[in-house]
Amino acid sequence: MTPEFVTGFFFEAIKTTMFLAAPMLLAGLIVGLLVSIFQAATSISEMTLIFIPKMMAVAIALIFFFPWMMQTMIVFMENLFNNLSFYIH
């Protein structure tokens, strides 16, 4: 195993992780921004108001994107297991 191979493997793992986390993070970001704009427009300064909508948005994004996430994880793991003998040498 060369240093370039290890670096490439970890890059792919981190890229896959970011792709898997992105839908939930973006949903939470968008809902948080919308609630913050609503709070600023109405002068409501309740800090706990943002948590429930963000949790709901993340849960809905997880339910909606779960099949794609599962397929992405399966492809990554199949690639890992199929090339395991190459990784060991």
Q: What is the pLDDT of residues 22-62, one digit of tens each?
A: 999 999 999 999 999 999 999 888 888 889 999 999 999 99
**In whole numbers, what is the pLDDT of the chain averaged over residues?**
91
**Boundaries of every domain in the chain:** 3-88
The confidence score (pLDDT) of residue 15 equals: 95
Q: What is the pLDDT of residue 45?
A: 82
pTM score, two decimals?
A: 0.80
- Supply 89's token pair: 């040498």
What is the mean pLDDT of the segment spanning 57-72? 96
- Which residues are within 8 A (CB) of 1 and not within 5 positions of it... i.e. 6 or more apart? 87, 89
CA 68-73-79 angle, to 5 degrees, is 125
% of the chain with per-residue pLDDT over 70 = 99
